[in-house]
């Protein structure tokens, strides 16, 4: 059996999700835009899914939910589709996911003033740091809700109110891909204008996701065509994906507390074992998502550790996607991780399918392999 | 009827062995066209492919031009050796505008017009038919070739597509290639295959220090190279034990030198096992610490077979240019580490002395490590 601890990368699809999906592939496969009676029925399924998701996430109206193909598309729509005035600027968090970072760089290259906000050593973006960069010309602020590498949870609500105080017309967008279903999310309460999330991180299928667009916020579509999704996202709807996304969101949101308790227990088990390993540290321990644990081991290459663990049927993520020498993770560099540690970051991310027994096995194997690897590499402290 | 004309390169220089080279070339062309229906015959010093699906013409031309030994390829019309037929075909394939020249070759002396007369007459027809064309006998933009054959048939064709030249694979002996996954070794493979060498590859991998993706990348490269080498087998040798032993027992700065000596020993053993007469590497003089003359001397010392280094005098830019042309570059630059980049010493020795190298590696049980590596070779036919 695989002990899968890379649930930030993607998750196993739930059995009920798969069953429902199947039905939409083989029985209810009609195009919701067609004018036959079956199409009307599938269109109703989409409307139902929209209102269920709006309810589960505290949106004020189902019309605020726009279905897209996943987190990356939602992030692109938010950044590229939000209106930009002449001489405007955009404020972007310093530890954003590539889908936001690279899209912001694209805007920067097209001549827009893009301002990157610093991050703290544990990966948080602070409200006061954001506020310093916002002015009357700011058109968009993009700060992620939960960091995908360290799990740091940003205080999006306070960021929104600080931004609006300086410039009420600036839109605030938050990438919630690692937040929905992992920590409590209430969109109205957060006050954001735009918020993205993805289905495959919460046991729905790949190719599903949403952009929340607060009422009266107007975006320009990135994809044009048949005018689906109130003209914001043309293309025939992935009906089964949309319906099952609603199922997955409802389930994940309903069990956030229960899972958080379990995940925090898992973290404690690992933390206890880490005490026995010299020169290692947890990258973010305050205001952090229970589902993510980023651990750095000094003088180790995380890729090698990852392969050693996979030999014991354990899958973890690499904190740093460093693929060649001197090319470290942008985010881990942003949190100023010491050079001895920066190559040795492992990201452990939990799902409801993980058991305490698996976590104990992981903790044991971490200790065993870190020690073996350090011995092989001739590392001594 | 459409036909494809294939001209071959230096084979015509061969004397008594010419048949051997010609047979190899024809076999290689047949091998690369194995999934196609066609007829291939030899006709006065060239090959003619006919009876193929016309929709496949471009793909056949592209395949054949990449077979080593092929000088050029033309897609031609085959018509009866009759003036009106030839004219009709020439009008159909003629360029729409620009300058042109008609080149005739009359092997069939019974044809009523000689080469000069036929060329000027067809040229006149083309001019008359299309006002946008003009004749330039010295630097024409287009050629219209007319080849009157002895069998009563004539080939009419415009430009020839250049082939990759070289010698047919299989006529230049057999060699093993050290294939790392970087930019250079696939190019070295191409260069030797171009001179007719049959090649099989050896890849050293160091799982878990390198990923399975790195090995997959090498197999992808091997598949691309197969287009030129026609056959390709990769012997994947696990190098982890050897690397960790060197790392543990030898001075750090000699890591790469000693590692490469092991690679050479294993390559030689495999070469002999497979009846190969040479070892091929992608080394280029001075490119990295392990490719200085002194380093090459150290690694060369463990080999008795000739070590061929076709890139030795190439600059990186030149190598990259070939890598792009042979379609290996984009795969080579995928970011998976190969076994050379782990345990990388901070200051590798650039001028190792052979006696020192021998002394520092003598702490290792070299034979046992080589035997152990040879026992666990994974042979993958791509």
Kindly list the domain boundaries of chain B, sorted by start residue.
2-165, 174-381
Nearest-CA distance A302 → chain B (Å)? 10
Are residues A193 and A171 in contact, defined by beta-carbon separation less than 8 angstroms? Answer: yes
Report the residue of A314, A316, A324 to disrupt the B interface, i.e. the one with the largest count of B CBs within 10 Å.
A324
A303, A377, A378 ranked by CB distance to B211: nearest: A303
User: Torsion over CA of B191, B192, B194 and B197, rounded to 10 degrees?
Assistant: -170
Eight-state DSSP code of residue B139: S
Nearest-CA distance B326 → chain A (Å)? 24
Residue indicated by tokens 């929209």: A50
- Provide DSSP, B78-129: EEES-HHHHHHHHHHHS-SSEEEEEEEEE--TTSSS-HHHHHHHHHHHHHHH
Q: Do B337 and A323 touch (CB under 8 A)?
A: yes
Q: Do B208 and A310 touch (CB under 8 A)?
A: yes
Q: Which CATH number fits domain A15-254: 3.40.640.10, 3.20.20.450, 3.40.50.300, 3.65.10.10?
A: 3.40.640.10
Are residues B301 and B264 in contact, defined by beta-carbon separation less than 8 angstroms? Answer: no
Over residues A220-241, mean pLDDT: 96
Residues A316, A53, A123, A206: is their CA dihedral positive or negative?
positive
What is the per-residue pLDDT across A245-281, written as a single tens digit (0 to 9) for each? 999 999 999 999 999 999 999 999 999 999 999 999 9
Give pLDDT, residue A122: 83
Nearest-CA distance A61 → chain B (Å)? 45
φ/ψ (deg, to 5) at B123: -55, -45
Chains A–B, number of C-beta pairs less than 8 Å apart:
32
Nearest-CA distance A4 → chain B (Å)? 18
> How far is the CA of B351 from the CAs of A288, B251, B262, in angstroms?
52, 15, 18
**Above 60 in pLDDT, residue A27?**
yes
Report the residue of B207, B208, B249, B348 to disrupt the A interface, i.e. the one with the largest count of A CBs within 10 Å.
B208
pLDDT tens, residue order, chain B (382 aa)? 899 999 987 766 677 788 888 889 999 999 999 999 999 998 877 899 999 998 999 999 999 999 999 999 999 999 999 999 999 999 999 889 999 999 999 988 999 999 999 999 999 999 999 889 999 999 999 999 999 998 899 999 998 899 999 999 999 999 999 999 899 999 999 999 999 999 999 999 998 888 888 899 999 999 999 999 999 999 999 999 999 999 889 998 999 999 999 999 999 999 999 999 999 999 999 888 788 999 999 999 999 999 999 999 999 999 999 999 999 999 998 877 665 566 777 788 888 899 999 999 999 999 999 999 999 999 999 9
Which chain B residues contact residue A308 at CB under 8 A? 208
A304, A310, A324 ranked by CB distance to B209: nearest: A304
B245 half-sphere exposure, CB direction, 13 A CA radius: 20
> How far is the CA of A372 from the CAs of A362, B113, B367, in angstroms?
15, 86, 26
Give pLDDT, residue B8: 87
Q: Do A308 and B208 touch (CB under 8 A)?
A: yes
Report the residue of A315, A378, A380 to disrupt the B interface, i.e. the one with the largest count of B CBs within 10 Å.
A378
How high is the ipTM of this complex?
0.76
B244, B336, B337 ranked by CB distance to A376: nearest: B244
Residues of A annotated as part of the active site:
322
Q: What is the mean pLDDT of chain A?
A: 94
The 3-state DSSP class for residue B144 equals strand
What is the per-residue pLDDT across A303-321, written as a single tens digit (0 to 9) for each? 899 999 999 999 999 865 4
Binned at pLDDT 50, 70 and 90, residue A379 comes out as: confident
Please determine, looking at this structure, whether the domain spanning B2-165 carries the CATH number 3.40.47.10: no
Residue indicated by tokens 């914001």: A232
Instruction: Give the whole-number percent of chain A exceeding pLDDT 70.
Output: 97
Give pLDDT, residue B290: 80
**CATH number given to A3-9+256-376:** 3.90.1150.10
**Above 90 in pLDDT, residue A146?**
yes
Alpha-carbon distance of A162 to B38, in angstroms, equals 74
Nearest-CA distance B341 → chain A (Å)? 8
Give pLDDT, residue A333: 76
What is the per-residue pLDDT across A341-372, written as a single tens digit (0 to 9) for each? 988 999 999 999 999 999 999 999 999 999 99
What is the per-residue pLDDT across A77-97, written as a single tens digit (0 to 9) for each? 999 999 998 899 999 999 999
Binned at pLDDT 50, 70 and 90, residue A295 comes out as: very high
Name residues 300-359 of chain B within 8 A of A (Cβ): 335-337, 341-344
Are residues A185 and A176 in contact, defined by beta-carbon separation less than 8 angstroms? Answer: yes
Closest Cα in chain A to B212: A307
Domain spans, chain A: 3-9+256-376, 15-254
Give pLDDT, residue B63: 93
A324, A327, A378 ranked by CB distance to B247: nearest: A378
Binned at pLDDT 50, 70 and 90, residue A329 comes out as: confident
**Above 90 in pLDDT, residue A220?**
yes
Radius of gyration, CA atoms only, chain A: 21
Alpha-helical segments (H) within chain B: 18-32, 57-65, 83-93, 115-129, 184-194, 212-229, 240-249, 255-273, 293-300, 316-325, 329-332, 354-361, 366-375
> How far is the CA of A17 from the CAs of A20, A150, B50, B194, in angstroms?
5, 29, 56, 55
- Whole-model pTM: value is 0.84
Over residues A195-216, mean pLDDT: 97
Alpha-carbon distance of B163 to B130, in angstroms, equals 31
Which chain B residues contact residue A303 at CB under 8 A? 211, 337
Q: Do B207 and A307 touch (CB under 8 A)?
A: yes
**Among candidate residues B91, B120, B116, the one with its CA nearest the CA of residue B105:** B116
Are residues A78 and A196 in contact, defined by beta-carbon separation less than 8 angstroms? Answer: yes
Are residues B159 and B279 in contact, defined by beta-carbon separation less than 8 angstroms? Answer: no
B208, B335, B336 ranked by CB distance to A311: nearest: B208
CATH topology of domain B174-381: Rossmann fold (3.40.50)
């Amino acid at each position: 059996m695989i002990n899968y601890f890379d649930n930030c990368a993607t998750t196993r699809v739930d059995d009920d999700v798969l069953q429902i999906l199947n039905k939409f592939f083989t029985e209810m496969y009609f195009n919701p835009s067609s004018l036959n009676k079956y199409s009307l029925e599938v269109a109703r399924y989409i409307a139902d899914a929209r209102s269920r998701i709006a309810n589960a996430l505290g949106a004020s109206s189902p019309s605020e939910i726009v279905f897209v193909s996943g987190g990356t598309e939602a992030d692109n729509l938010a950044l590229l589709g939000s209106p930009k005035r002449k001489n405007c600027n955009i404020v972007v968090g310093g530890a954003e996911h590539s889908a936001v970072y690279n899209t912001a760089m694209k805007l920067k290259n097209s001549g827009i003033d893009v301002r990157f906000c610093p991050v703290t050593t544990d990966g948080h973006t602070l409200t006061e740091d954001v506020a310093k960069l916002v002015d009357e010309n700011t058109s968009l602020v993009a700060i992620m809700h939960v960091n995908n590498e360290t799990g740091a949870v940003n205080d999006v609500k306070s960021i929104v109110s600080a931004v609006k105080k300086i410039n009420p017309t600036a839109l605030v967008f938050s990438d919630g891909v690692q937040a929905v279903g992992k920590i409590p999310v209430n969109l109205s309460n957060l006050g954001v204008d735009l918020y993205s999330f993805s289905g495959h991180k919460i046991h729905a299928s790949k190719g599903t996701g949403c952009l929340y667009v607060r009422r009266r916020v107007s975006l320009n579509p990135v994809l044009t065509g048949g005018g689906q999704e109130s003209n914001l996202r043309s293309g025939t709807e992935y009906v089964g994906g949309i319906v099952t996304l609603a199922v997955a969101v409802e389930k994940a949101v309903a069990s956030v507390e229960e899972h958080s308790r379990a995940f925090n227990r898992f973290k404690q088990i690992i933390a206890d074992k880490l005490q026995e390993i010299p020169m290692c540290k947890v990258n973010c321990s305050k205001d952090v998502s229970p589902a993510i644990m980023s651990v750095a081991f000094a003088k180790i290459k995380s890729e090698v550790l990852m392969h050693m663990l996979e030999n014991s049927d354990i899958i973890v993520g690499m904190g740093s996607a460093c693929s060649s020498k001197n090319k470290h993770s942008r985010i881990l560099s942003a949190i100023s991780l010491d050079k001895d540690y920066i190559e040795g970051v492992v990201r452990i991310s939990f799902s409801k399918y993980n058991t305490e027994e698996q976590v104990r096995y992981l903790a044991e194997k971490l200790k065993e392999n870190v020690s073996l690897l350090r011995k092989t590499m001739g590392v001594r402290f | 009827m459409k036909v494809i004309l294939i001209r071959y390169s230096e084979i015509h220089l061969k004397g008594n062995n010419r048949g051997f080279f010609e047979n190899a070339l024809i076999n290689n062309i047949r091998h690369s066209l194995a999934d196609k229906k066609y007829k291939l015959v030899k006709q006065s010093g060239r090959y003619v492919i006919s009876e193929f699906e016309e929709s496949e013409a471009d793909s056949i031309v592209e395949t054949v031009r990449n077979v080593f030994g092929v000088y050029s390829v033309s897609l031609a019309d085959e018509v009866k050796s009759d003036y009106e037929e030839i004219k009709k075909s020439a009008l159909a394939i003629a360029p729409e505008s620009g300058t042109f020249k008609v080149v005739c070759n009359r092997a069939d002396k019974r044809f009523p017009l000689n080469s000069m007369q036929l060329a000027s007459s067809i040229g006149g027809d083309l001019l008359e038919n299309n006002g946008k064309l003009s004749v330039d006998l010295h630097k024409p933009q287009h050629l219209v070739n007319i080849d009157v054959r002895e069998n009563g048939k004539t080939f009419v064709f415009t430009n020839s597509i250049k082939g990759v030249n070289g010698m047919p694979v299989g006529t230049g002996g057999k060699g093993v290639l050290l294939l790392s996954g970087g930019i250079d070794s696939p190019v070295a493979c191409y260069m030797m295959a171009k001179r007719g060498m049959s090649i099989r590859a050896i890849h050293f991998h160091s799982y878990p220090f390198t990923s399975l993706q790195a090995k997959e990348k090498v197999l992808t490269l091997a598949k691309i190279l197969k287009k030129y080498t026609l056959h390709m087998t990769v012997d994947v040798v696990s190098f982890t034990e050897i690397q960790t032993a060197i790392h543990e027992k030898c001075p750090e700065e000699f890591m790469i030198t000693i590692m490469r000596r092991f690679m050479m020993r294993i390559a030689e053993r495999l070469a002999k096992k497979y009846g190969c007469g040479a070892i091929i590497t992608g080394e280029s003089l001075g490119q990295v610490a392990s490719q200085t003359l002194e380093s090459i001397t150290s690694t060369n010392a463990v080999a008795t077979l000739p070590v061929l280094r076709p890139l030795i005098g190439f600059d990186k830019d030149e190598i990259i240019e070939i890598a792009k042309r042979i379609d290996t570059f984009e795969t080579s630059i995928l970011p998976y580490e190969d076994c050379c980049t782990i345990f990388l010493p901070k200051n590798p020795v650039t001028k190792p002395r052979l006696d020192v190298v021998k002394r520092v590696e003598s702490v290792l049980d070299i034979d046992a490590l080589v035997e152990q590596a040879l026992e666990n070779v994974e042979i993958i036919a791509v």
